Structure 1
């Protein structure tokens, strides 16, 4: 049972001083909907980031969250408890698996049988997902740019195959042989230092600032750069921000950064900034100007794509929390088989390490076997089509390496139109550069960013941090398991992509940020209910940003 003190602690962790009436309302919600204090505050953070420009709760905002989220979740949970069945259903097997048949040879099916072609183990108690099958408005378009874009070509030829490869020379690609353990503190500090040096000098050059310097005097004007840091004891706060120098500029020391003279700012831990201001007391810089935008230009390569390039994008999880029937994935594959897109992009994990059914005690076969059978099912759908399938790795994959950046998957069966790529990846599709990640960096940044005087769309601002810092994951310290050596080399953007795919639990969106088209398809499933995916059409020829020559729909599965 939640308590006022627990709520205070969790809100304080987010740098929110909640008033008594807010705490009492939250306690009421915890009791009414059977959620913990931590889960309620996390849900508020995600809801606020998607709907408001502030994370400070109000009574009206909490009531809105209750109406839109908590009531629906309670209804779904009740239905799940009511209709959960105890009998075994081999809903996803090529043949009903028993201990005797687990090791038998897999029977191949035709595309028409894909409803029964996904791998599973009948040792699990799989429900029929009553809520999902009785959902209203499947394939309903929830958001579309069709009314805001123009000149979209309608000449679509699904028989035309597109070339998919990772961007840049192959020597720079993250491979399955990448080493990621045993990083000594010196290696970590060296990697962080190189990031500070590169971005810092890029800012100085772009804004034509004077030569930077560390604090050498007690008072006076100064131009400097460094990494935004917070007090080691807590989260980032406007009154306790520190700036960490590079080794070359200031021997890696930290100084206090005073923001009182700035009319506006948006900062997060790990952000590299250039500051123009004055020194006071020999250890504090009062910033008058702050710069953080070193956005790279779009690729200048010629784009060679079909008249209309079609792409379907979906993000894990692909099955519900209470089964591994993969019904939403089956329906997605059916939709893709009908639409015949040039590209299907799936971001992992396919077998989520947090799934309540994926335990050794429940399974009659190995994780690798489950994964390979799942891949076979996906690719069987497209065996007679030219659709290219891209699967982005995830560190949450139960059988894969738990590190970010994450090396690509490996499957025993090879398909010419299947591409396993690391997380994150920059893809080159006939000169069209697509950035994609399976990591929910937007949600993590929404909990760490602080801002003042920045009106407008917060989601666009969070996305802009990635583009402006040339990184898929600029947060330091990270909120996940990171290899700093791999992060420095494989999580950066060498150019600004034409299209950036950022799956998140935050509400779906389609935006243009700094000339880059950004799509958050949200999740294919949300706990026990149906989620969403994206269907994108890009018209050729393309010169520069693609948003005005594209149509994108967010569709309920």
Structure 2
């Protein structure tokens, strides 16, 4: 059997498909020959690379092979170096001493760096650099990392419509002078207006005071809210107690529950009605007569059906949507209408309404092998060339899952890292681009320098000179920019919903796209976190402004970062008379393991149908 066939067979045994079979095999064959690797060793190395990079799917893509082969080559080199005991690994200080022709005595000979030594950001490494990336000898130096050696840079992964002037698929490394020239040539866009909805917890709030009463009231209010909307529509009668035996068809409203510990299934679906209708009792819900359904624990639904025995409600129709127009939504519940925070609203700046350019990225913002924050620096360099009106950066910024943060090997405090590596870079970006740009930061529960609670208060950023330009939202957060309504949440609700949802569709019903269905659950339930009980890793606190979890109206743009594969989708729900459209964006993660990830660029023009968006690999 030819080596190519053996490589293909080994990938198949490990459960991987090849995207471009001929190209991938042609690239892998020379490595097997040059490094005396058999196909099984090659595929084993791919599995390690696959897990380290946290790649999605089981298809080996051609775009990932170059990075894999670079990783494989480095592994071979490291193996050879380990065999040579006399080989010394030089640090940046050693290089500087050699360039300065300093004598290295035996007493002062540098040793091999220990595992806990970090490669600091070139811009702020005061021990080995004097100014930027220049050594004290006057010669330039840049750290070599897995991220800096990647081959595919700024590649468009996916797009809807067409981004104007998007010529980034094949870019050569830019020079500093060239970048300055490009920045000078960019025509600055007008500064966008900004209105932040202030419904979330405050930065100085107390948490961990969640009571059973708070949880009960939050769930009960959610059921009552849906009930009011259904009755006000005139399509449904007043809800009745679903636990009472009756031969006639009734209408009731309740929350989907599971009668056992573990994952929901068709045989374990229960319906819990409100305390007003049934005292909060549960009844088994039979879904066999429905042509299609999609349910998850915590979902509030309206059910038409009958309960002949008193022990099982047989559903003939399910209603799970209360989407309505923004004006109707505000009038239905004026007591909970969110207040506007107009502190940052510029009334004296000209702007085109309903037009907004954005760059959206979600953390981590540094690779897992260092705390240099190279991906963030490259993202800001890209933004200098594209000049968006608004940059939305969503946590984690100082990721608790980062190996150095977990081990506690960093010598700087979390606040210091955040101030130097994040805020100082953003200040430099604004100083370069001028007063027309805005930056919004959204925290995550994985941020080591912030409160571990959800909903989450905004970062307490004290930058008096740049207060109108750098701001922080609560998590989740809602704001308007140039009258474009945007909602965002860093909790990975899509991944959690994906693991809990069950669905069935008959042959004559099109199931549609799964990701669109998951996002529609959030819009239909009007909640950023409709899942109950919450996932074990979620510190959900109902004592902190439960209205912060509400989605009061259908936003123009809904940003939901997730570990699930990136996407941009235009959602159009026409059920029950709804005609609202929304652009849903999952920008992916800016980094994946030691390599680059993805971010999103969106130009909104008047409506979802006429807007442009792209997912860009960094």
Indicate the TM-score class for this superposition, using the shorter chain for normalisation. 0.7 to 0.9
Alignment CA distance shift 1:390-1:81 (3 Å)? farther
Residue 261 of structure 1: how far off its partner (Å): 0.4
Flag the 1:550–1:210 CA change in 2: closer, same or farther, 3 A. Answer: same
Does structure 2 conserve the Cα–Cα contact (< 8 Å) formed by 1:80 and 1:528?
no
Deviation at 1:290, TM superposition (A): 0.2
Q: In the alignment, what sits opposite 1:18?
A: none
CA RMSD in angstroms comes to 3.5
Answering whether residue 446 of structure 2 is matched by residue 396 of structure 1, we say yes
**Which residue of structure 1 lines up, in the alignment, with residue 518 of structure 2?**
462
- Among candidates 215, 219, 228, match of residue 188 of structure 1: 215
Helix, strand or coil at the partner of 2:405: coil
Q: Residues of 2 paired with 1:406 and 1:83: CA distance?
A: 46
Q: Is the 8 A contact 1:173 1:490 kept in 2?
A: yes
Secondary structure of the equivalent of 1:482? coil
Aligned partner (choices 425, 429, 440) of residue 492 of structure 2: 440
Give the Cα separation in 1 of the matches to 2:66 and 2:533: 35
Mapped partners of 1:461, 1:232: distance in 2: 25
| Distance change >3 Å, CA 424–CA 135, structure 1 → 2 | same
1:292 equivalenced with 2:320 (yes/no): yes
CA contact (8 A) 2:356 2:481 kept: no
TM-score w.r.t. length of structure 2: 0.70
Counterparts in 2 of 1:154-553, with a 5 A limit?
158-167=188-197, 170=198, 172-206=199-233, 208-215=235-242, 217-220=244-247, 221-298=249-326, 305=352, 308-359=355-406, 361-374=408-421, 375-384=423-432, 385=434, 386-414=436-464, 415-416=466-467, 417-453=469-505, 455-479=511-535, 480-486=538-544, 488-514=546-572, 515-539=581-605, 542=606, 546-553=607-614
- Tell me if the contact between 1:226 and 1:272 (Cα under 8 Å) persists in the aligned partners: yes
Aligned length: 477
Secondary structure (helix, strand or coil) at the match of 1:199 reads: helix
CA change 1:222–1:89 in 2 (3 A) is: closer
Q: What SS is found at the alignment partner of 1:368?
A: helix
Contact 1:501 1:518 in 2 (8 A): yes
Preserved contact between residue 509 and residue 519 of structure 1 (Cα < 8 Å): yes
Contact 2:489 2:560 in 1 (8 A): yes
Larger Rg: 2
The Cα of 1:163 is off from its aligned counterpart by 2.0
Asked if the contact 2:243–2:311 (Cα under 8 Å) also holds between the matched residues in 1, the reply is no
Match of 2:616 in 1: 555
Cα contact 1:83–1:127 (8 A) shared by 2: no
Match of 1:128 in 2: 144
Question: Residue 309 of structure 1 aligns to a residue in which SS?
Answer: strand
Please say if residues 275 and 289 of structure 1, whose CA atoms lie closer than 8 Å, have aligned partners that are also in contact. yes
Change (3 A) 1:82 1:411: farther
Counterparts of 1:226 and 1:80, CA distance in 2:
58
1:252-274 Cα deviation digits (max 9, x unpaired): 11110000100100111111000
Q: Which moved more, 1:507-516 or 1:81-90?
A: 81-90
CA contact (8 A) 2:598 2:617 kept: yes
Distance 2:494 2:387 in 1: 30
Q: Is the Cα–Cα contact under 8 Å of residues 516 and 547 in structure 1 kept in the other structure? A: yes
SS in 2 for 1:358: helix
Tell me how far 1:25 sits from its aligned partner.
6.5
Q: Following TM superposition, by how much is the alpha carbon of 1:538 offset from its aligned partner in structure 2, in angstroms?
A: 2.0
1:516-547 C-alpha deviation (Å, 9 max, x unpaired): 111111111111211111111123xx2xxx22
Q: 1:489-509: CA deviations, max 9, x gaps?
A: 101111111111111121221
Aligned position for 1:96: 125
Q: Which moved more, 1:333-342 or 1:216-225?
A: 216-225
> What's the counterpart of residue 153 of structure 2?
138
1:304–1:137: structure 2 CA closer, same or farther, 3 Å change rule?
Answer: same
Shift of 1:474: 0.7
Gaps of 5+ in 1: 1-21, 48-63, 117-125, 150-155
- Using the alignment, how far apart are the partners of 1:76 and 1:442 within structure 2? 33
Alpha-carbon distance in 2 for matches of 1:511, 1:444: 19
2:457–2:473 contact (8 Å) kept in structure 1: yes
Instruction: Indicate conservation of the 8 Å contact 1:256/1:285, yes or no.
Output: yes
C-alpha distance after superposition, 1:108-139 (max 9, x if no partner): x8xxx5x79xxxxxxxxx97323x22323311
Q: Is contact 1:77–1:528 with CA below 8 Å preserved after alignment?
A: no
CA distance in 2, matches of 1:23, 1:293: 44
